[in-house]
Chains A and B, each alone.
Chain A
Amino acid sequence: MSLPAAPPATVWPGLDPVWSRRVVAPDAGGVPRTWHLLDNGAAPEHGTLLCVHGNPTWSYLWRRVIAAAPPGWRVVAVDQLGMGLSERTPPRTLAERVDDLANLTKALGITGSVVTLAHDWGGPVSLGWALAHREQLVAVVLTNTAVHQPPTAAAPSLIRMARTQGVRQAVCVATPIFVRATTALSRPALPRAVREALAAPYASPAARRAIGDFVADIPLDPSHPSVVTLDAIAEGITGLDVPALLLWGPRDPVFSDVYLRDLLSRMPHADVHRYEKASHLVIEDAPRVAEDVWRWLGDLVPQADPSVRSASSPPGPVRERSGGGDPPGAAAPLWGALSARVGDHATAVVELGTHERRVSFDRLERTVRDLAGGLVATGVRPGDRVALLVPPGADLTAAVYACWRTGASVVVADAGLGVARMGRALRGAAPDHVIGIARGLVLARAMRVPGRLVAAGLLDGASRRALGAPLGLADLVRLGRGRPLPPTPEDDAECAVLFTSGATGPPKGVVYRYGQVRAQLEALRTAYGLTADDRLVAAFAPFALYGPALGLASAVPDMDVTAPGTLTAVALAEAVSAVSGTVVFASPAALRNVVATANELSPRHRAALDGIRLLISAGAPVPLTLLLDVQGLVPQAELHTPYGMTEALPVTDVSLAELEAAGPGEGICVGRPLPGVGLGISAFDDLGGVEAGPTTRPAVSGEVLVRAPHVKDHYDQLWATERESSRTTGWHRTGDVGHLDDDGRLWVEGRLVHVVRTASGPVTPVGPEQRIERLDGVSMAAVVGVGPVGTQQVVAVVVPSTGARPGLAGPELAAAVRSAAGVTVAAVLVVKDLPVDIRHASKIDRARVARWAARVLEGGRVGRP
């Protein structure tokens, strides 16, 4: 028997030496073995969390989970035999490791409820234990692991390489390459002390022997002795009905999303959270994993933490909603208004541009029907996800409604996210099928988005085959003619996955169910009094799709929809004229360019614009001056601005007249809630926290809470984010901050993550920014905080209209900003421009500005934000 010498505890940051203990227990063959483990020794009132590391890490990996353990939970993190500080043993098979662990838990007297938590190849070991201890098992938690090699994916090439006898010896045992490589996967790099601690037990070839043995035990071919065990585990968990949580680092080059999908196919009820930037060592890259594990377990044991929701939601994505109202199936399907117009040869969709295309209601209805049949014929099933990488227009409209008719869910990511983030977002959503134009298909392949490809647009057979999409939309229409279609989807079936703009972090997938999308259509119809006499012109992507569902003709102007600033006044007028438009949807960036190009309008154009009764500016805050300029172009129109977000739209609405009457205030006035929408404010506490229940008391600032039948169902594979946003039962926490005024109007003061937490309380950015922006010589301003939360200082970063070298503002400008801000400003910095989001080109990335300001105000290099 050989035990590795314990390095001094000081080299292990975060690990409390009192957790460390050694226990002797018989191994699978009955030989007594000395285990090392971390054990917080707590009385397991709620249960024991049994943590199993993978290869080549050790129990150190779980230190944050142990440190964050709430009362009532014993945490036992083992070093597998031969690994960490446990005894070095002869090679062990998977079956032996499962039995080793069972003997250890017996020796430790773990008899009550157990939750397993595992990483990497600790996953199969922990699941093997779980299946053998069903009577004790309460839940399973897994991080980047696998139980099965999906036939569609090549085995992780790193592992396959490491499996070659010579390479294995060289990489795993003779040298610390494998050990070091594992800790080097993280971006940004892990702190040196943590990398050293993870590698500490594996300093010599003798200490590393089990690392090679472990790799050799991975059953990559059917004759391997551990195949039977692994297959049994993979089979077994399919029937495991305990709550499951999968916490995933999607940047893992070994256990990619393919394995997440395999696990989900076995445990469809599992909650999932993908930590967008995390890699293989997800718990090192995203330290909040530890809190999230406990939060999730806290929901399973409500009495453990009185602050959590009274009852945990049932496992799985299907959830009861308050305010849904209609019994399932009672309402008309989303395509009801379109189907009703079969035989009507009036124009339904006009696509403007060099090749103007007009599609009648009759034609659209038939295309949708046949395309749906084609989708069914080629394998699209109810509940499948279909990603659509097609620009707004007739094809996209047909594809969306066809998907819905098959009962599938559409995944819509717009190029406004930027190509890389769009690709990652799509890959994460894991579509079963991708319908795309050439560019979209190339992106899908380049970004390894899963799913079968279908070509849209004008592509010949050879190009389609080259892109991996043998069939085009026209082929599907032909294939689908006369085919029966599945029944109308239930209201609680998944309908769409949309993505947030990612202005405050990676884009989040937002899942809507059929009932919620129908509720959204109803909300729009009532809010804007839309009738059969209206015709839509939509220069703003989501609304371009809703014409047919509302039974209204619609046109998309000739523009690059991914760049709203490309909409010209003439293009807008042409689109209006093409459908005799009465209602226009456009984003502020588009309207800005329309105003800028208004001198190109002919009298005919102006006459067409006179027919607009309603112009809706959506997507981002609109300056009053811009609205007034727009009003000059559409004299007959009422100008409206809805407030909402990808998760709930529309929430409130305000007209230009109301905005003018309201005047300036603390934040942006977005008007009153629409019918059927509940609004509440979760008030700030002194430290800027927002744990209070919703109030409608005026002049109370805090997070804006919304409830409405058209609020999103949940975030996709973001369990912790979802829980955070829905922790006030029945409400969606928007992440926006603001207050209600005496007239019930909502004023938005910024994003919760951008609130400055000063010693005298929270400071919200938008009010001071607006006051600073009203100064002569200032074109834009960002108000951010620097320093530790609770004692932060307010910093104003301004863009002077005359341009500036980044740095400290001059004394006159600084004095003017300070007196205008209305809050104490510690420093005034100037920059040439401020970073804004791609989609709306208007939401300032204040977090990035704050990081820059912090660096400059520490005395660091100025550079630019």
Chain B
Amino acid sequence: MKVLVTGASGMLGRQTAEALAARGDDVTVLQRRPSGLRLQEVLADVADASSVAEAARGHDAVVHAAAKVDVVGRWRDYERVNVQGTTSVVEACRAVGVGRLVHVSSPSVAHAGAAVVGAGAEPAHPTAARGHYARSKALAEQVALAADGGPLAVLAVRPHLIWGPGDTQLIARIVERARAGRLPVVGSGAALVDSTYVSNAVDALVAALDRCESARGEAYVVSNGEPRPVGELIGDICRASGVPAPRRHVPFPVAALAGAAVDVAWTARLALPGLPTPGDPPLTRFLAEQLATAHWFDQRRTRSALNWTPRVSLAEGLTELARAAAG
């Protein structure tokens, strides 16, 4: 099968491209900067419809993993990469006759800040989604799933909290903050959260590609199916990475307030021309909510529809993380 993978500069896109190639698929990757993978490569902006259509020509399937995932930024940047990017992928698939599209989404597209306790994949809800990232991904998923029909089979996979060795998003941030002593436990730290070891997410995307026609038109939440108290999970990640686990507790209302203040401050700085682009903020309201409320999912439908089960357990994943951290 000839497969185009967008966003191979990210951990998930990259490892998915490698996994597909390893099993014998003919893989092309598309992203802005060279990936360093020994695969056919197109360097392009995913929002550039004609480049994407050109790249997609001759492919049987597309795995669309490219996205802006930063915790802060301007809405127009999220909108361009996540919404327009998805639109150009969908149009490209239609224009050149691609048969399958696996869209990488996020469980945050369907949730509005309340605790998520064993929920399934509710429909994406752009107006209720919290923050630019979740809102733009919600719109993107709607665009993708609306394109399902006729010769093009589309489904959306929503992995929850992907982590693994080499992760520059979750793990790197936790480790960096823990090392700097800037990582508090929000609330009691007992909120139960799902997470996904990266290889399991990769397997799920490969499985989704194979089941794209029978499972088409719908979204599937993917996780390890091993929810853990968020404080314990972060502690385990810190220990595996060789940094001190957080001890300081911050009550949720304080964290949420601080997060909200940060949202305002960062937005202001981004809006002012001439100032240097800021790095990651200490905490956003979205993050404070994510750290203080339960987020775990019913995996039964996903597992039967995609014929997939997580291969690497949480404990095995942590061992891998520790091995990578030890160098």
Identify the A interface with B (CB < 8 A): 759, 786-788, 790-793, 807-808, 811, 814, 824, 826-827, 829, 854, 856-860, 862
* Set of chain A residues within 8 Å of B229, measured between Cβ atoms: 808, 827, 857
* Set of chain A residues within 8 Å of B298, measured between Cβ atoms: 759, 788, 790-791
Digitize B234-277: 1 where CB-to-A-CB distance is under 8 Å, 0 elsewhere.
Answer: 01100100000100000010000000000000000000000000
Q: Is the CB–CB distance between B227 and A793 below 8 Å? A: yes
Judge whether B322 is part of the interface by a CB distance below 8 angstroms.
no
Judge whether B187 is part of the interface by a CB distance below 8 angstroms.
yes
Judge whether B201 is part of the interface by a CB distance below 8 angstroms.
no
Judge whether B76 is part of the interface by a CB distance below 8 angstroms.
no
Q: Is the CB–CB distance between A854 and B187 below 8 Å? A: no
Q: Is the CB–CB distance between A826 and B191 below 8 Å? A: no
Shortest beta-carbon distance from A689 to chain B in Å = 16
Residues A807 and B188 in contact in the complex (CB < 8 Å), given A759-B300, A786-B117, A793-B296: yes
* Complex Cα gap A811–B229 (Å): 11
Task: Name the residue on A nearest B245 (C-beta).
Answer: A811
Shortest beta-carbon distance from A797 to chain B in Å = 11
Judge whether B320 is part of the interface by a CB distance below 8 angstroms.
no
* Set of chain A residues within 8 Å of B118, measured between Cβ atoms: 787-788, 791-793
Q: Is the CB–CB distance between B190 and A826 below 8 Å? A: no
Q: Is the CB–CB distance between A787 and B187 below 8 Å? A: no
Task: Name the residue on A nearest B225 (C-beta).
Answer: A759
* Set of chain A residues within 8 Å of B239, measured between Cβ atoms: 811
Task: Name the residue on A nearest B191 (C-beta).
Answer: A859
Residues A857 and B192 in contact in the complex (CB < 8 Å), given A808-B229, A824-B226: yes
Judge whether B66 is part of the interface by a CB distance below 8 angstroms.
no
Judge whether B198 is part of the interface by a CB distance below 8 angstroms.
no
Interface bracket on B = 20 to 34
Q: Is the CB–CB distance between A826 and B294 below 8 Å? A: no
* Complex Cα gap A759–B293 (Å): 22
Residue of A787, A792, A859 contacting most chain B CB atoms (<10 Å): A859
Q: Is the CB–CB distance between A787 and B296 below 8 Å? A: yes
Shortest Cβ-Cβ A-B pairs, 6 listed? A787-B118, A859-B191, A859-B293, A858-B115, A791-B298, A788-B118
* Complex Cα gap A407–B231 (Å): 65
Residues A858 and B189 in contact in the complex (CB < 8 Å), given A791-B298, A793-B296, A811-B232: no
Could you name 29 residue pairs across A and B whose Cβ atoms are closer than 8 Å?
A: A786-B117, A787-B117, A788-B117, A790-B298, A793-B118, A793-B192, A807-B189, A808-B189, A808-B231, A811-B232, A811-B235, A811-B236, A811-B245, A814-B232, A826-B192, A826-B228, A827-B190, A827-B227, A827-B228, A827-B232, A854-B117, A856-B188, A857-B190, A857-B229, A858-B115, A858-B191, A858-B294, A859-B115, A859-B190
* Complex Cα gap A612–B43 (Å): 91
Judge whether B292 is part of the interface by a CB distance below 8 angstroms.
yes
Q: Is the CB–CB distance between A858 and B300 below 8 Å? A: no
Task: Name the residue on B nearest A856 (C-beta).
Answer: B190
* Set of chain B residues within 8 Å of A860, measured between Cβ atoms: 115
| Chain A-chain B contacts (Cβ-Cβ < 8 Å), number | 76
Digitize B56-74: 1 where CB-to-A-CB distance is under 8 Å, 0 elsewhere.
Answer: 0000000000000000000
Judge whether B35 is part of the interface by a CB distance below 8 angstroms.
no
Judge whether B169 is part of the interface by a CB distance below 8 angstroms.
no
Q: Is the CB–CB distance between B115 and A791 below 8 Å? A: no
* Complex Cα gap A701–B235 (Å): 37
Contact of A759 among B187, B188, B191, B299 (CB under 8 A): B299
* Set of chain B residues within 8 Å of A858, measured between Cβ atoms: 115, 117, 191-192, 293-294
* Complex Cα gap A732–B222 (Å): 43
* Complex Cα gap A85–B181 (Å): 66
Digitize B123-162: 1 where CB-to-A-CB distance is under 8 Å, 0 elsewhere.
Answer: 0000000000000000000000000000000000000000
Shortest beta-carbon distance from B208 to chain A in Å = 20
* Set of chain A residues within 8 Å of B226, measured between Cβ atoms: 824, 826
* Set of chain A residues within 8 Å of B293, measured between Cβ atoms: 858-859
* Complex Cα gap A759–B302 (Å): 12
Q: A791-B299, A856-B188, A859-B191 are in contact. List 12 more A-B contacts (CB 8 A).
A: A788-B298, A790-B298, A807-B190, A808-B188, A811-B236, A814-B232, A824-B226, A827-B228, A858-B117, A859-B115, A859-B252, A862-B188
Q: Is the CB–CB distance between A862 and B117 below 8 Å? A: no
* Complex Cα gap A475–B300 (Å): 71
Task: Name the residue on A nearest B289 (C-beta).
Answer: A859
Contact of A791 among B228, B292, B300 (CB under 8 A): B300
Q: Is the CB–CB distance between A859 and B187 below 8 Å? A: yes
Shortest beta-carbon distance from B247 to chain A in Å = 11
* Complex Cα gap A486–B240 (Å): 81
Q: Is the CB–CB distance between A786 and B189 below 8 Å? A: no
* Complex Cα gap A858–B293 (Å): 5
B residues 199-235 touching A (CB-CB < 8 Å): 225-229, 231-232, 235
Contact of B191 among A788, A790, A829, A857 (CB under 8 A): A857
* Complex Cα gap A406–B48 (Å): 96
* Set of chain B residues within 8 Å of A827, measured between Cβ atoms: 190, 192, 227-229, 232
